Structure 1
Amino acid sequence: MILLIQTLLTFINIYSSLLIIRVLLTWFPQINWYNQPFAALSQITDPYLNLFRSIIPPIGGMDFSPILAFIALSVVSGLLTNPYLLRLVGAY
């Protein structure tokens, strides 16, 4: 069980890093998202971000979906590291 939780936390950390890179790259309008490696990054991150874009669409050219995406990842990460919850599932 601990290995599964550690794997999930590692995945969340890597995915969060990819989201940060994706957000930072949006500051450069000359990037062609159809060229590699940008297309791969977009294919990996956009489905997750689109979940939140359906809740809060971009307003005035500002996309707030990454904020909600990071909050959701943080909540899941916090739940996975909660000692009470870990005792409940028998990880300790």
Structure 2
Amino acid sequence: MIAILQTLSIILSLVWWVFLIMIIMSWLIAFNVINTRNAFVDTVWRAVNSITEPILRPIRRLIPPMGGMDLSPIIVFIIIFFLQSFIANDLPRMLRLY
């Protein structure tokens, strides 16, 4: 059971990194530092968006952009932090694994 919880924690960490990459890439694209006409950049951008959009879409429906700022990635970071903390600390105690 501990192995499953650790695997879930690693998956959440990977999702966290994908969201961080998405945020940084969106800034770089917005400020014209990188260009989506580059094939590599476009491929990475499409891959990152295909991973993040299904997670962000329901949150964006609940919390629309405020003043042009999309706060949904921040909400995702908070949820990931909560889940990782819950998996690492509370869930093992609840299941009496420690």
Q: TM-score by structure 1 length?
A: 0.87
Match of 1:80 among 80, 83, 87: 87
Larger RCO (CA under 8 A, 6+ residues apart):
2
1:32: how far off? Answer: 2.9
Q: How does 1:62-81 map to 2 (within 5 A)?
A: 62-81=69-88
The residue aligned with 2:13 is 13
Amino acid at match of 1:48: I
Unaligned runs of 5+ in 1: none
Q: Which runs of 4+ in 1 moved over 6 A?
A: none
Q: Report what 2:25 is aligned to.
A: 25
Query: Larger helix proportion, structure 1 or 2?
Result: 2
Alpha-carbon distance in structure 2 between the residues aligned to 1:21 and 1:14: 11
1:53 matched residue in structure 2: 60
Q: What amino acid is aligned across from residue 17 of structure 1 in structure 2?
A: W
Q: Percent identity?
A: 32
Instruction: Find out whether 1:90 has 2:88 as its counterpart.
Output: no
Q: RMSD of the alignment, in Å?
A: 1.9
Q: Which moved more, 1:16-25 or 1:53-62?
A: 53-62
TM-score (norm 2): 0.82
Q: Partner residue of 1:40?
A: 47
